[in-house]
Structure 1
Amino acid sequence: MTEVTDGRRLKGERRRRAIVDAALRVVARDGVGAVSHRNVAREAGVPPASIAYYFDGIDDLLVASLLDGCEALVEQITAVRDRVVDNAQWPRAVAELLVGMIREHRERTIAEYELYLLAARRPALRPAARRWIELVRGNVNSGREGDEAVVSAFIAGIDGLLLQALIADEPPTADRLEPVLRFLMQPYDHLGVQG
C-alpha cells in the first residue's frame, strides 16, 4: 500500500513540477498576461483541469512559480558559497553565477523578474517576492552588526546588475561584472563566506 501511495505522490509531484515549469516557460515566452489554465496546460502537456487540481487559481500558480525561482536561486548561491574557499574569490564566483543567469538561463531569469515585479501590482505574490529577498539575505548575511544595510545594498546591486544585463544588447561578461561586485563587497569582505 505504501508503494502505491508513494508512486501516486511522486506522479503528482512530477505533474505539479511540470505545470510550474510550463508556467515559467509561458511567462518567459509570452509574458504574465498569457498565463491561463489552457495555455499552461498546453505547455505542460496535461489536461487543463490539472491546473485547477494542483493550484487554487492563477495567482497560486504564479506564487508557486516565483517560489520555485527562489529555491533555484538559493541552491545556486549555496553552490557558489560552498565552492568559494576565501572571500577574495567571492566577487568572481558571483559574477560567473550572474553571467549564467543572463546567458544560459536568460528566459527563465526574465520570467522570474517579471513575476517578482508583478508582486507590486498583485498582493498575492508579495509574500513570495519577499521570501526571495529573505532567502538571499539569509544566505549572505553573517549576522554581524550593520550587515542588514550592507546585505540590502548588495541585493539591490545584484537586482540592478541583472536588470541592466537583461536589457543590454550585449550581455556583460564575468570580467565586466567582477569589478562592480568587488566594489559592492569591498568594505564588507565578511559577507560571502560564512565561517
Structure 2
Amino acid sequence: MARDVGTRHGRQNDPERRDRIIDACLDVIVEAGVAGASHRRIAEAAGVPLGSMTYYFTGIDELLRDAFTRFSTDVSERFVARMAAAFDRDSARDAVVEIIRRDILGDRRELVLSHELYTLAARDRSYRALTTAWMGRSRAALEQHFDPQTARMLDALIEGLSIHRALDEDAHDVQDVHLAVARITADQ
C-alpha cells in the first residue's frame, strides 16, 4: 500500500509541516543563499525535527526545486493578475510600471530569491525549466496587450531593472521607469 505525502500509516501527520518547511527554505535562502541552505538550518527555521526533512523531501535538491517552484509561481500569478486587470494599452503600461515599482524595486526578499534562482539556473540546467516557465508566463501575460517582440523587450527591462536594483545603492526614480516603458511601447 502506497502512503500519501503527509500521512503515516493512514494517520494525518501535521498537514502543514511540508508547507512550513518550504517557507522556511525560502527564508533561509534569503538569509544565507542557496549555498547556506542545509537540511539542519531549514529544519531549525521551520521548527521541525531534522529527521522529518527526509520524510517530506528525498533530498535538498527536491526541497530547493519545490521552494523555487512555489516562489516563481506566486510571483507569476501576481504578474499575470496585474496584466489581466489592464483594460487598454495605457492601463497595460501602468501595470508594467507597477510590476517594476512594487514587485521588482519594492521587495528586497523577492529580489534576493529571484537572483538566487537565476544563479542556480545558470549553473544547473535542470533549474532552467523553472526560469523558462516563469519567463513564458510573464511574456504570455504581456502579450495580452503587446506584440511578442515588445513583450520580450518589456520582460528584459523588468529583469534588467531587477539586476540594477540588486547592485545599485541609489534609489530608482519611478519617472524613469515610466519613460522606459513608454519608449519600449511607443510604436504600439
TM-score by length of 1: 0.79
Distance in 1 of aligned mates of 2:69 and 2:101: 22
Deviates more, 1:147-156 or 1:177-186: 147-156
Structure 2 residue ranges without an equivalent (≥5):
1-6
Deviations 1:66-112 (A, max 9, x none): 21122112221233124323211222222222222245421232112
Q: Which runs of 4+ in 1 moved over 4 A?
A: none
Which has more helix, going by share of residues?
1
Distance in 2 of aligned mates of 1:152 and 1:103: 20
Q: Does the CA contact (< 8 Å) of 1:18 and 1:44 recur in 2?
A: yes
Aligned to 2:185, the other structure's residue is in SS state helix
Distance in 1 of aligned mates of 2:175 and 2:52: 45
State the AA in 2 paired with 1:52: T
Counterparts in 2 of 1:186 and 1:55: CA distance versus 1, 3 Å:
farther
Distance in 1 of aligned mates of 2:12 and 2:182: 48
Residue equivalent to 1:46: 48
Q: Percent identity over the alignment? A: 28
Which of residues 76, 85, 88 in structure 1 aligns to 2:87? 85
Which of residues 139, 142, 145 in structure 2 aligns to 1:140? 142
Q: Does the CA contact (< 8 Å) of 1:70 and 1:135 recur in 2?
A: no
Residue equivalent to 1:184: 184
Q: Does the CA contact (< 8 Å) of 2:30 and 2:113 recur in 1?
A: yes
What is the total number of aligned residue pairs between the two structures?
179
TM-score by length of 2: 0.82
Identify which of structures 1 and 2 has the higher relative contact order when contacts are C-alpha pairs closer than 8 Å and 6+ apart. 1
Distance in 2 of aligned mates of 1:135 and 1:50: 34
Counterparts in 2 of 1:20 and 1:187: CA distance versus 1, 3 Å:
farther
What is the deviation of 1:19?
Answer: 1.6
